[in-house]
């Protein structure tokens, strides 16, 4: 059981604060609900009786937040080449509500976006996963959304450069030995 003011995570929606606990009569059935204040001034009602079943949990602490950031600093994990299977696998990770799995999805899809681009569905998934990740880190670290967005982007960019630098170095080697002068001859004047 959670209390008013508790910071919790609602899987697939992100982190929020319990604004109140209210009893509502919906379709003739009285139930108690957590009223969550989510980022962007969105309010969500979660039935208290089903909260545990649907995976509502407390937000992570500061030391766990550092470990989550560590996930962003690692190389991508193996993903299926078939975008449909990859999408389903990533959706399963997100449904768990596990912040480490969500960070894994954010990092993997960010790498994939930098390399090849993403389908519309995967772009949407990346944006959703990123917002879920950011919403929890904002509450865990008690910093602004902008600071967390900057940190997440920076960690992903740094790890991408570190783990993909061999590809970048090969491209620059080709440019050194085959200079392009714009004439089409490959020679310089």
CA distances from residue 159 to 8, 70, 86, 108, 110 in whole angstroms, order as listed = 29, 10, 21, 11, 11
Q: Is 92 found in the same domain as 28?
A: no
Residue 15's SS3 state is: strand
pTM: 0.83
Structural domain range at position 25: 7-58
Find the CATH number of the domain harbouring 140: 1.20.58.1290
What is the phi/psi pair of residue 49, to 5°?
A: -65, -25
Q: Kindly state the greatest CA–CA separation across the chain.
A: 84
pLDDT tens per residue, range 107-132 = 999 999 999 889 999 999 999 999 99
Domain count, the chain: 2
């Amino acid at each position: 059981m959670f209390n008013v003011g508790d910071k919790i995570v609602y899987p697939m929606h992100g982190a929020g604060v319990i604004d109140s606990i209210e009893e509502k009569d919906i379709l003739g059935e009285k139930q108690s609900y957590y009223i969550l204040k989510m980022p962007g001034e969105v309010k969500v009602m979660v039935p208290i009786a089903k909260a545990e079943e649907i995976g509502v949990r407390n937000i992570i602490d500061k030391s766990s937040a550092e470990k989550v950031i560590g996930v962003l600093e690692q190389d991508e994990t193996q993903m299926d080449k078939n975008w449909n299977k990859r999408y389903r696998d990533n959706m399963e990770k997100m449904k768990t509500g596990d912040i480490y799995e969500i960070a894994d999805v954010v990092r993997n899809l960010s790498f994939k976006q930098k390399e090849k681009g993403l389908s519309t569905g995967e772009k949407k998934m990346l944006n959703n996963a990123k917002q879920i990740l950011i919403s929890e880190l904002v509450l865990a670290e008690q910093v602004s959304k902008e600071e967390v967005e900057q940190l997440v982007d920076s960690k992903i960019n740094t790890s991408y450069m570190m783990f993909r630098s061999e590809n970048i170095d090969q491209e620059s080697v080709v440019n050194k030995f085959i200079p392009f002068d714009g004439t089409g001859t490959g020679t310089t004047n």
